[in-house]
């Protein structure tokens, strides 16, 4: 196989370190409130771990879409469009404000498939977060690479796990806005243009508007599950099934028990689905 074959990267490990600073936590709370579950004083809010370990690529190293042209710990992009596909979290112990956090990342799988929209590559990353107190989070992250846009993406559809649960009540109704997307992009230090550049999102990538971040939706669902349960532990798996568009009201729907299925939906349909257990 060629040296740049993505399959050659399976098994590679990378270590990262970052600090859950008070300023970062305050910025996260200011952006996501009031859609955060209650936590013990001193703990970092659920979902704030996605603000850690950003890729700090110089401007000269960014691609036309705003992503780094080459991530330091990922194989060369096999296709030009990179998307957050979904993942799974095992919440072991809470992160705390001020924690020095280490993350070990392993590239566990690379797969190529052909779908209705063309070729797809699926990259699976396994992340282990630790503090001086021990393990905190185990995460599986699914990254999807796609062909360039050839047709306008189809509207959201009610597909995927949990989508059939149309009876799920909405815990929160979230008004998405360009300001929300801008603030979230800033605190996770992601410059993908589909989140803030409307002409690029609609004319180049073919979306109906600015796209709501996958981890932002996952953060809403993670906190909704914890709000229902009254605790922030267990396993949480999720998958993006269709883009959520800025300006739409996003319903965050979770079973009243906090167990089983959940999803985000708007008038367009279902956007992210998943389930919680444990």
CATH number of the domain encompassing residue 98: 3.10.129.10
With 80 as the cut, is the pLDDT of residue 149 above it?
Answer: no
Question: Higher-confidence residue: 46 or 258?
Answer: 46
Residue pLDDT, tens place only, 115-133: 776 788 888 999 999 999 9
Q: Does 140 reside within a domain?
A: yes
Q: Residue 107: which pLDDT band, with cuts at 50, 70 and 90? A: very high
Instruction: Please report where in the chains the tokens 């999720």 appear, as a residue.
Output: 238
Which of 209, 257, 252 lies closest to 234, judged by CA?
Answer: 257
Q: Could you give the number of structural domains in the chain?
A: 1
With 80 as the cut, is the pLDDT of residue 231 above it?
Answer: no
Q: Residue 110: which pLDDT band, with cuts at 50, 70 and 90? A: confident
- Give yes or no for a contact between 125 and 270, defined as CB atoms under 8 angstroms apart: no
Residue 152: predicted pLDDT: 52
Tell me the residue range of the domain where 35 lies. Answer: 6-277
19: tokens are 């600090």
Q: Does 237 reside within a domain?
A: yes
With 90 as the cut, is the pLDDT of residue 96 above it?
Answer: yes
Residue pLDDT, tens place only, 32-71: 999 999 999 999 999 999 999 999 989 999 999 998 888 7
Q: Does 122 reside within a domain?
A: yes
With 80 as the cut, is the pLDDT of residue 159 above it?
Answer: no
Q: Does 1 reside within a domain?
A: no
Q: Does 131 reside within a domain?
A: yes
Q: Does 230 reside within a domain?
A: yes
> Exposed (0-12), middle (13-18) or buried (19+): which is 74, by Cβ within 10 Å?
buried
With 80 as the cut, is the pLDDT of residue 148 above it?
Answer: no
Q: Does 207 reside within a domain?
A: yes
Residue 162: predicted pLDDT: 43
SS3 at position 19: strand
Residue pLDDT, tens place only, 187-225: 999 999 999 999 999 999 999 999 999 999 999 999 999
- Give yes or no for a contact between 98 and 19, defined as CB atoms under 8 angstroms apart: yes
Cβ neighbours for 122, distance < 8 A, ≥ 6 positions apart: 85, 109, 110, 111, 112, 113, 142, 143, 144, 145
Strand order in the sheet with 249-254: 13-19, 100-115, 118-131, 134-146, 81-91, 234-240, 269-277, 260-266, 249-254, 170-175
Q: Does 233 reside within a domain?
A: yes
**pLDDT, average across residues 8-12:** 86
Residue 186: predicted pLDDT: 97
């Amino acid at each position: 196989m060629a040296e740049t074959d993505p399959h050659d990267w399976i098994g590679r490990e990378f270590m990262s370190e970052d600090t859950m600073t008070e300023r970062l936590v305050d910025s996260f709370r200011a952006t996501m409130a009031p859609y955060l579950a209650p936590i013990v004083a001193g703990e970092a809010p659920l979902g704030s771990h996605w603000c850690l370990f950003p890729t700090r690529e110089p401007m000269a190293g960014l691609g036309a879409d705003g992503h780094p042209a080459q991530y330091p710990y990922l194989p060369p992009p096999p296709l030009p469009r990179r998307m957050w596909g979904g993942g799974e979290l095992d919440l072991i112990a809470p992160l705390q404000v001020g924690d020095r956090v280490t993350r070990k990342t392993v590239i566990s799988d690379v797969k190529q498939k052909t779908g209705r929209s063309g070729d797809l590559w699926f990259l699976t990353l396994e992340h282990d977060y630790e503090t001086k107190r021990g393990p905190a989070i185990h995460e599986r992250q699914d990254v999807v690479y796609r062909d360039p846009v050839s047709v306008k993406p189809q509207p959201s559809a009610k597909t995927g796990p949990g989508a059939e649960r149309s009876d799920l009540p909405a815990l929160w109704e979230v008004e998405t806005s360009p300001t929300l997307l801008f603030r979230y992009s800033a605190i996770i230090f992601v410059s993908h243009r589909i989140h803030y550049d409307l002409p690029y999102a609609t004319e180049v990538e073919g979306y109906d508007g600015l796209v709501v971040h996958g981890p932002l939706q996952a953060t809403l669902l993670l906190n909704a599950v914890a709000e229902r349960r009254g605790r922030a532990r267990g396993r949480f798996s999720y998958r993006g099934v269709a883009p959520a568009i800025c300006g739409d009201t996003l319903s965050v729907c979770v079973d009243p028990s906090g167990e089983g299925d959940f999803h985000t939906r708007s008038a367009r349909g279902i956007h992210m689905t998943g389930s919680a257990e444990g």
